[in-house]
Amino acid sequence: MAERAPSYGGQAVIEGVVMRGPRFAAMSVRAPDGEIVTLVKKAEMPSQRGGVFRWPIVRGALSFIDSLSLGIEMLVKSAEISMPEQEAPSKASVNIAVAAGGLIAVGLFVALPAYAAPFILNALRLSGRVYTSLVELM
């Protein structure tokens, strides 16, 4: 059986880009003087630890959290490099912003459709699980 090719992913940051591979993440950012600053960080996936971390639900949740935290960390570092004259945000303010963003996303894309679906179905004189699911997906 042929060995599977490693997967790579990327993310745009302020004045730069982040690329992530199976073992490392690298970020290149343009500094105000035009110089390209490159940072490399060891970033192994949680699923490489083995055991419970390889279970599908656990692996997905941990990979999501790991990718989110790496992305936020790199975004903050890119802001520090590309805009050094501005004060860097504190870790607490970044955490509050992420939590608020998550709550807003859940509210807009989960709670609001679930709350509005019965009103829309009544207005359209429709009933049933299929229609409810379709309205919630819109």
Buried-state track 54-66, b at ≥16 Cβ within 10 A, e below 16: eeeeebeebeeeb
Alpha helices in the chain (DSSP H): 56-82, 91-106, 112-124, 129-137
Taking only the tens place, the pLDDT of each residue in 75-99 is 989 988 988 887 777 888 888 988 9
Least confident of 5-14, 103-112, 123-132: 123-132
Q: What pLDDT, on a 0 to 100 scale, did the predictor assign at position 89?
A: 77
Computed from CA positions of residues 61, 64, 67, 69, in that sequence, does the dihedral angle turn out positive or negative? negative
Are residues 17 and 27 in contact, defined by beta-carbon separation less than 8 angstroms? yes
Taking only the tens place, the pLDDT of each residue in 29-79 is 999 999 999 999 998 777 777 778 778 888 888 888 888 889 988 998 998
Q: What pLDDT, on a 0 to 100 scale, did the predictor assign at position 60?
A: 85
Q: What pLDDT, on a 0 to 100 scale, did the predictor assign at position 100?
A: 93
**Cα–Cα distance for residue pair 53/28, rounded to 1 Å:** 30
Nearest to 73 by CA among 94, 87, 58: 94
Count of beta carbons in the 10 Å neighbourhood of residue 96: 12
Count how many Cα atoms sit within 13 Å of the Cα of residue 40 in the half-sphere of its side chain. 3
pLDDT band at 126 (very low <50, low <70, confident <90, very high): confident
Q: What pLDDT, on a 0 to 100 scale, did the predictor assign at position 2?
A: 67
Residue 1 has pLDDT above 60, yes or no: no
Average pLDDT over residues 103-126: 88
Mean pLDDT over the full length of the chain: 86
∠ CA 124-128-131, rounded to 5°: 55
Q: What pLDDT, on a 0 to 100 scale, did the predictor assign at position 116?
A: 87
pTM here is 0.69
Nearest to 15 by CA among 87, 88, 81: 81
